[in-house]
């Protein structure tokens, strides 16, 4: 089947904006699950792949359309890969609100006095054509950098103001959106996903 429209299993405004830009050249209409009043799926799993698959199946089941889900996060070497799959709710206590500012504050607190600041962003994309799709398309990528103590830049979201890229000499939040999409973990995973979809005859 050729893809003409997809439900994006995310309510994150920053992710929606990035994916719209990534899909625009492909002629695929992207519909956010939020616009269809689809609630977020539970993310109880220990891996990015399992969480992304659960979100994609959930969105497809409730929309009747193919669905794309992304599960991504920040992994810090000195924290044994944490916050990892808990990145979006790193600072969340019980049912309290999620907040990028609170997550970043907690990250800096737990890294106080730690000299090893190596970190990497992970992006896993899962696309299903239907809820019970037996062969979901899975793509993933890592983006390496390090954590700095002072926020830099006004673009991006999440941990971007504190994620420093040595090769660029700046934090992710200082990159123009087009540049971020070209080199980010999500951009890399997206290119892998597109290659697989074209090979499967689902994209022109």
Residues serving a catalytic function are 71
Rounded Cα–Cα distance for residues 65 and 159 (Å): 31
**First CA to last CA across the chain, in angstroms?**
11
Give the CA count within 13 Å in the CB-facing half-sphere of 84: 15
Per the omega criterion (within 30 degrees of 0), is the bond before 68 cis? no
Could you give the CA distance from residue 182 to residue 167 in angstroms, rounded to a whole number?
Answer: 14
Say if residues 139 and 196 touch (Cβ distance below 8 Å). yes
For the chain, strand residue ranges (E) read 5-8, 29-32, 67-76, 118-128, 137-147, 163-165, 170-171
90-122: burial string, b at 16+ Cβ within 10 Å, e else: bbeeeeeeeebebbbeebeeebeeeeebebbbb
Q: How far is CA 10 from CA 51, 68, 81, 203, in A?
A: 12, 9, 23, 22
């Amino acid at each position: 089947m050729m893809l003409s429209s997809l439900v994006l299993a995310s309510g994150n405004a920053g992710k929606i904006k990035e994916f719209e830009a990534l899909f625009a050249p492909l002629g695929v209409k992207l519909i956010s699950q939020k616009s269809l009043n689809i609630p977020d799926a539970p993310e109880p799993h220990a891996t990015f792949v399992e969480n992304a698959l659960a979100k994609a199946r959930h969105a497809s089941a409730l929309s009747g359309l193919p669905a794309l889900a992304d599960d991504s996060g920040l992994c810090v070497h000195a924290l044994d890969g944490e916050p990892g799959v808990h990145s979006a709710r790193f600072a969340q206590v019980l049912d309290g609100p999620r907040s990028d500012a609170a997550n970043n504050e907690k990250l800096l607190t737990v890294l106080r006095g730690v000299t090893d600041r190596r970190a990497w962003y992970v992006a896993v994309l899962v696309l299903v054509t239907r809820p019970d799709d037996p062969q979901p398309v899975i793509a993933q990528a890592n983006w390496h950098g390090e954590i700095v103590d002072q926020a830099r830049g006004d673009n991006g979201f999440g941990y971007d103001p504190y994620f420093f890229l040595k090769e660029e000499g700046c934090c992710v939040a200082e990159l123009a959106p087009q540049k971020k999409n070209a080199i980010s973990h999500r951009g890399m995973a997206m290119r892998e996903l597109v290659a697989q979809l074209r090979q499967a005859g689902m994209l022109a």
